[in-house]
Copies of this chain bind each other. A is one copy, B any other.
Amino acid sequence: MLPSENKYLTNVSFDTVIFGFTGEELKILVLEYQNTGLFALPGGYIRRDENLLDAAKKGIMRRTGLKTIHLEQFHTFGKLNRSNPEPSKRIAKGLGYEMPDDHWVLDRFITVGYYSLINYNQVRPTPNKFSDSINWYSINNLPPLMMDHEEIVKKALEAIRTDLGKKPIGTNLLPEKFTMKELRKVYEAILDKKLRRTTFQRKILSMDILIRHEKLYTGAANKAPYLYSFNKEKIEKL
């Protein structure tokens, strides 16, 4: 096949690590291919007529049902041994057809990694025609992932940890309004360590990126916490 006859770019793909927060722990979306026992990150190929970033966004919007999504690129993986035609062959076989050995998807791929932090509850995980299921898995209890996808997850985790200090990444992990405790839990889940309650509160308030709203009465026998939302205008200016 001539390159120009292919709708997609060859030798390049994208893979995404989509983080969600249950209130207690971080999870990521992992899909499982039919009849293969193979687990993988959501990913895909780039059409010749679209931007790399748009290709990745489109793919993730389809997998999650979200209408908008913010993706951050964190690393591109290009080791020689990361490509392996076996999984793709097994996936094709699992779907009931044989793939010719010179098919372009069996060639070597360099993949661009993106991460996103999204609202766990707004997502409708949607399998594609190749996959059996797509589900949330705790980052501390992932199934074995195919190829180098575990390395990709590891790099994504490192990236969100270092980015957390710079940008208020947590913006999309929580509902519109949230309590200070919930926000702290997000930070604790990402950094994987406890934070001092009072210091966290002082620090985050001094950043002046939160708007305080009404109190939240949960029925608990104690002082009700305020609800907050992110001041998106101020965050833009950072």
Give the B-binding residues of A (Cβ under 8 A). 1-4, 9-12, 46, 48-53, 73, 75-80, 102, 104, 107-108, 110, 112, 162, 166
Contacts and interface: CB of A to CB of B under 8 A. Distances in A.
Given A2-B102, A10-B10, A166-B162, A50 B110 contact: no
Given A3-B3, A46-B110, A51-B79, 14 more contacts: A1-B2, A2-B102, A3-B11, A3-B102, A10-B11, A11-B11, A46-B78, A49-B80, A50-B80, A52-B78, A52-B110, A76-B76, A76-B112, A78-B112
Chain multiplicity (copies): 2
A4 B78 CA distance: 18
Contacts of A46: 78, 110
Given A76-B73, A78-B46, A80-B50, A9 B11 contact: yes
A108 B48 contact: yes
Contacts of A108: 9, 48
Contact of A52 (B3, B76, B104): B76
Contact of A79 (B49, B52, B77, B102): B52
Nearest to A101: B4
Contacts of A1: 2
Nearest to A48: B108
A104 B75 CA distance: 25
Contacts of A10: 3, 9-11
Contacts of A52: 76-79, 110
Q: Which 3 pairs between the two chains have the least Cβ-Cβ distance? A: A52-B78, A9-B11, A76-B76
A155 to B, nearest CB: 11
A22 B72 CA distance: 35
11 contacts: A1-B2, A9-B110, A48-B108, A49-B80, A51-B80, A52-B77, A52-B79, A73-B75, A73-B76, A78-B112, A110-B112
A2 B100 CA distance: 14
A13 to B, nearest CB: 10
